[in-house]
Structure 1
Amino acid sequence: MVATDQDDKSGKGEFKRSASHFADRITADARDGWPVEAGRYRLVINRACPWANRTLISRRLLGLEDAISLAVTDPIQDERSWRFTLDPGGVDPVLGIAFLSEAYDARERNYPGGVSVPAIVDVPSGKLVTNDFQQITLDFATEWTDLHRDGAPDLYPEALREEIDDVAESIYRDVNNGVYKAGFATHQETYDTTVRQLFARLDQVSQRLATRRYLVGDTITEADIRLFTTLVRFDTVYHGHFKCNRNKLSEDAVLWAYARDLFQTPGFGDTIDFDHIARHYHQVHTNINPTAIVPIGPDLSSWLTPHHREQLGGTPFGDAEAPGPVPAAEAVPPTGRAA
């Protein structure tokens, strides 16, 4: 989603995240008119965005790289939003467009909303299919199964879905969205309430994870993916930039070990670009950081230190297998900020 997407009509200085306007689904039975089909669609992400990061992790764990191609936008937006300036000539080589807004316009001109990632675009027509960040990964796990790699994990096992949904909903409300509500709050009371709710939920999650390796069951599920993408950004941007500073992630022994465990698991840390994360938040949110100065820290080397979470039992993928190496074209380039 667009990080500055807010529409406060309450007068309370509250951040309001807009619902996904394009909520079509790509399904095995094509009930929304969009069939699962290898090579037909392009996933557009920004590596700074936690919601887009979810789709990238899910796609990698399930081995969908050959089934749905990947476009990565510049971490810095201009007035036309997400742009393909990382590609030669500033044009996406598959879609042939310079701005993601062109795919939105091809679907519906002058629609009431911002241009957000993640987005899936239909390559033949150039039209946006969906920007429903909550549903995309669930459909990757359940509707794209015929295109999963051999040995792919079940990230949304049917027997655990109710528990996964319950855990994920509270994490979304108070953690994933909570950091944004804190960062964009314009009234002290709203900020205070939001930050207390955020850390109350993090404390609860920390207690849950003190005796179990993963949030639900004995292997990685959709719930872990959703929590990880906020945790991995916490000390780099949310702690200081969004004023979520009761404590750092690295000061909570349980959550810090859990986050490092996932970071060191294939499919998680290899999707993270700390340089894009730091530059996007600090240089785009000029209402929060008017100087656009990007902090030099924190030290990222500790992400690779031992976590000892294996002592709690469970394995990342159970009877499934870890994904192979990152495709060369999708590897995060080394930078001074990389762990």
Structure 2
Amino acid sequence: MTTETSTPEQQDEHSTKGAYVEGGKEFNRDMNYIPDRITRDAAPPQVGPTPEKLWPVEADRYRLVVAWACPWANRAIIVRRLLGLENAISMAIAGPTHDKRSWTFDNGDPGADGVPRDPVLGYERLQEAYFARYPDYPRGITVPAIVDVPTKSVVTNDFPWITLDFSTEWTQFHRDGAPDLYPEKLRDEMDEVMKLIFTEINNGVYRSGFAGSQEAYEAAYDRLFAALDKISERLETRRYLMGDTITEADVRLFTTLARFDPVYHGHFKTNRSKLSEMPTLWAYARDLFQTPGFGDTTNFVDIKRHYYEVHTDINPTGIVPKGPDLSNWLTPHHREQLGGRPFGDGTPPGPIERADERVPAGAGAE
């Protein structure tokens, strides 16, 4: 099964190496990640390809390294929270910006030298975990990444499979009432939906924003909004992408929609319409945002800082826009009129227990 593919012609956006825009060319995402998987007893996985190395599911062994800013990492944050894996997999949150070397643990406590470090790994930069395993690692240092705490070395950064494995391989550590985010009976259809979402929407905004020519930009723009219109039509008669309950397909779409008005509409020139001007998608996005696990893991301050400060090739001044007003995320959505049960036979997750995992006051949609 393949859910996300791309041609490795240009450096991945959420890495920390290379230029983002190459004149005259279309943006293509580098999907060559460390393909290791964490599975039950290090057995061949239930779904997807079997990589060369398998790691065993084991509570308290691994650390999930994320950044609130990154949509791919935001997926992992949401899925971990929905499934209740907080007590099995610890989480380190990198700051919103990085240089060419790596994401840094700006949220950590400064040591004796005044440099913030992750309190568990002791690292200043995520790069150190990659180099602990691959001293000459040649590709981008990306989030999300899973790090083996005993060896302090990276296990995998293959983000499409990290979250699917959370659902299928870590079941013994799911909370009571955890939803089934990857239902077996829906997987074939889900894979097709998620492929469309990734290729045309998740990646589509970047194809527009990092286009190297007017022609490439306009083609990317048209593809993106054609896909958004198609997904909008699908959501007119069903509350969630796969029907009555939330699945990983919704998680994957949400992280792009949450960034649309604050970033993509202006920064990436995807300006046919704001999300707030697309009635069905806007109501759907607000429905998810107001569901535990989604809005409470969305940090708009970090999101805006990352895109506008890091992408100096398309925003050379580094100025971060003051707007838009985000309080409209909390307005009524009325999607409950379509019926459905967000968590199926399960229950919503409780409050975020760890203070360092809560989105800071003023960074959400207050």
The match for 2:264 among 227, 238, 252 is 238
1:96-135 matches, cutoff 5 A: 96-135=122-161
Q: Name the amino acid aligned to 1:260.
A: R
**Match of 1:45, SS?**
strand
Paired position in structure 1 for 2:362:
335
Q: Percent identity?
A: 63
Select which of 199, 204, 211 maps to 1:173: 199
C-alpha distance in 2 between matches for 1:8 and 1:47: 20
Alignment TM-score, normalising by the size of structure 2: 0.90
Give me the CA root mean square deviation.
Answer: 1.6
Shift of the alpha carbon at 1:18? Answer: 1.1
Report if aligned partners of 2:22, 2:212 keep a CA contact under 8 Å in 1: no
Structure-2 change in CA distance of 1:294 and 1:10 (3 Å):
closer
Alpha-carbon distance between aligned partners in 2 of 1:325 and 1:8, rounded to the nearest angstrom: 38
Equivalence map 1:1-339=2 (5 Å) = 2-3=13-14, 12-31=24-43, 32-89=53-110, 90-329=116-355, 330-335=357-362, 338-339=365-366
Q: State the one-letter code of the partner of 2:333.
A: H
Q: CA deviation at 1:302?
A: 0.6
Paired residues, number: 339
Q: Please report how far the alpha carbon of residue 33 of structure 1 lies from its aligned counterpart in structure 2 after TM superposition.
A: 3.4
Mean alpha-carbon deviation: is it higher for 73-82 or for 48-57? 73-82
Query: Does the residue aligned with 2:146 lie in a helix, a strand or coil?
Result: strand
Compared CA separation, residues 112 and 198, structure 1 to 2 (3 A): same
Measured in 2, the distance between the counterparts of 1:336 and 1:16 equals: 31
CA contact (8 A) 1:6 1:18 kept: no
Gap runs ≥5 in structure 2: 1-11, 44-52, 111-115
The 3-state SS of whatever aligns with 2:63 is strand
Take 1:285 and 1:229, find their aligned partners in 2: how far apart are those partners?
Answer: 19
Change (3 A) 1:49 1:8: closer
| Offset, 1:29 | 2.9
The amino acid across from 2:82 in the alignment is: L
Q: Tell me the amino acid that sits aligned with residue 281 of structure 1.
A: Y
Q: How big is the shift at 1:97? A: 0.7
Q: Distance in 2 between matches of 1:300 and 1:113?
A: 36
TM-score, normalised to structure 1's length? 0.97
Whole-Å separation in 1 of the counterparts to 2:267 and 2:281: 20
CA distance in 2, matches of 1:81, 1:97: 11
Look up the equivalent residue of 2:35 and give its one-letter code.
Answer: A
AA at the equivalent of 2:141: V
| Whole-angstrom distance in 2 between the partners of 1:66 and 1:41 | 11
In 2, the alpha carbon distance for the partners of 1:35 and 1:210 equals 42
Alpha-carbon deviations, 1:174-207, whole Å to 9, x = none? Answer: 1000001111111011000001000000000000
